[in-house]
Amino acid sequence: MAEAPPPPPPPPMSLTVTGVAVIKVQSSLAGIAMLEEKPTSLFETGPDRRLVFASFTGAVSGTYSPPDGWLLIDFAQHPSGEATATIAAPRQVRLVRLDRTATVRANFALTDAQVANDPFYDDGGRHDDTSMLPYYTGDAVRVAAVGEHLAVALRTGRNALVAYRFNYGSDGFVRAWRTLAEPGLTMFPRSVTSGSYDAFGQLDNHWRVFLDADAAGNIAVASVSNPIYVRLFPAHADYFRQPIDAVYGALVTRIAANGQRLGATVVDTAEVAEVHGVRMAGGDVAVFGRVYSDRRPDGGGWNAYVARVGFADGGLRYYRLLDVDRGDVVFDAAPLAQGRLLVAGATGYTQNPTGASISEDSAPLLAVLEADGTLKARVAVPAGARHNQLRSLAARDGNWLVGGMVNGPGTHSADGNPAALTADGVVRELTVGQ
């Protein structure tokens, strides 16, 4: 009697959620966790996010929204399938451990009396010495899983960048170490003269901190420097006695698994730049975002960039621009074989050459970069209506889960029609040739 043929493989995951963008997706054997964000007006308090646990068929097992008065900022999914979320209220940060039904397992106040005494380069402006968050935003905390444990990086009320390691067990969260990544300094807010939506989060990008960790617990923290809003390079150069000639760019700070600060690498972008993420990539660190490298009257010229830094020695392996179509941005990157990178973002948008207005038209960007950072191939991804973004990458059984949004707004889409301030989130499973 002939043996029955094996069952066909399950279909690739394909999930759409209405009214929100998927800005982060992570995968474990238990399924996915995804951070959904409702587009909010520049005149509203945000961000408006929730954390959703789902199977690979898209069946939702739990949804977590923060308590009244709190904002959900970030999350990290652990190998067990549980997740740790960070929530923020004015001046406060908490770590919330959740199982896959979104039931709270632990709720921990992240406090640190030392923040009031961190070095501070005062150039006026507003700050709050004892706060765990900057004065102007709560969206300044990031977390990364180290097995079932946690790495945290945040910007304090003195605008210092501080990294922590927390171990998780039967007693909940226990702090293992604290490391000052960058000193405190004066920072200034940015605003626009018109428009209702910040399509790339550019108005508060300089407040944000970006973090990733590898399985061994080594971490990298990245942030941006700008002579108008955040003069990080001069403060860093003075405090750490590391001369810096660059005016615009990013700083990538490397911290060992035991909390020892290994040093920082300058990525000189030459022009105004934004950091949108950092990823551990084998023995290197990738940092990426966009830079206004080519000032064009047609609204193009914001090109994506990717830089690669050696974790052990801090050497800058490369800094590359990615110019695909008019405006480009990279929101996430992940290591592939032979030193290549898979990058996700947006392309084909335009921006006011003298302002911050971003077009409603934008296409998804998924591409493979060679080991030297040059473009190897663009990967086709279905585009939806209006503004498209690919925001997050997660590996799954040799394939890739790509989270993002279609049908999103541009800066002025909802100026006269609040109903246009909407998006549809997507998670798609794709096979990518390496």
pLDDT tens-place string over residues 172-220: 999 999 999 999 999 999 988 899 999 999 999 999 999 999 999 999 9
Please report the pLDDT score of residue 415 as a whole number.
95
Structural domains of the chain, ranges and CATH numbers in brackets = 14-430 (2.130.10.150)
The overall pTM is greater than 0.85: yes
Total length of the chain:
434
> CA–CA separation, 174 vs 25, rounded Å?
26
Cα 142–chain centre separation: 8
> CA–CA separation, 113 vs 218, rounded Å?
25
Tokens of 368: 């493979």
Tokens of 61: 């097992």
Tokens of 140: 């300044």
CB atoms within 10 A of CB 14: 13
Q: Does the structure show a pLDDT above 80 at 434?
A: no
DSSP per-residue codes, 255-276? E-TTS-EEEEEEEE-SS-EEEE
Give me the chain's average pLDDT, please. Answer: 96
Please report the pLDDT score of residue 4 as a whole number.
72
Q: Are 409 and 39 in contact (CB under 8 A)?
A: yes
- Provide mean pLDDT across the span 338-359: 96
- The percentage of the chain sitting over the pLDDT mark of 70, rounded to a whole number, equals 99
Give the C-alpha distances (Å, rounded to integers) separating 428 from 137, 216, 234, 270, 278: 31, 29, 42, 35, 22
Q: DSSP secondary-structure letter at 299?
A: S
Burial of 323 (0-12, 13-18, 19+ CB in 10 A): middle
Q: Does the structure show a pLDDT above 80 at 1?
A: no
pLDDT bin (cut points 50, 70, 90) of residue 144 is very high
Please report the pLDDT score of residue 2 as a whole number.
67
Q: Are 210 and 221 in contact (CB under 8 A)?
A: yes
Amino acid letter for position 317? R
Tell me the β-bridge partners of 88: 71, 93
> CA–CA separation, 60 vs 386, rounded Å?
27
pLDDT bin (cut points 50, 70, 90) of residue 10 is confident
Please report the pLDDT score of residue 192 as a whole number.
86
Q: Which is nearest to 414 in space by CA: 390, 384, 387?
A: 387
Whole-number CA gyration radius for the chain: 21
End-to-end CA distance of the chain: 41
Tokens of 425: 């989130």
Amino acid letter for position 248? Y
Q: Are 185 and 229 in contact (CB under 8 A)?
A: no
> CA–CA separation, 240 vs 183, rounded Å?
9
Q: Does the structure show a pLDDT above 80 at 42?
A: yes
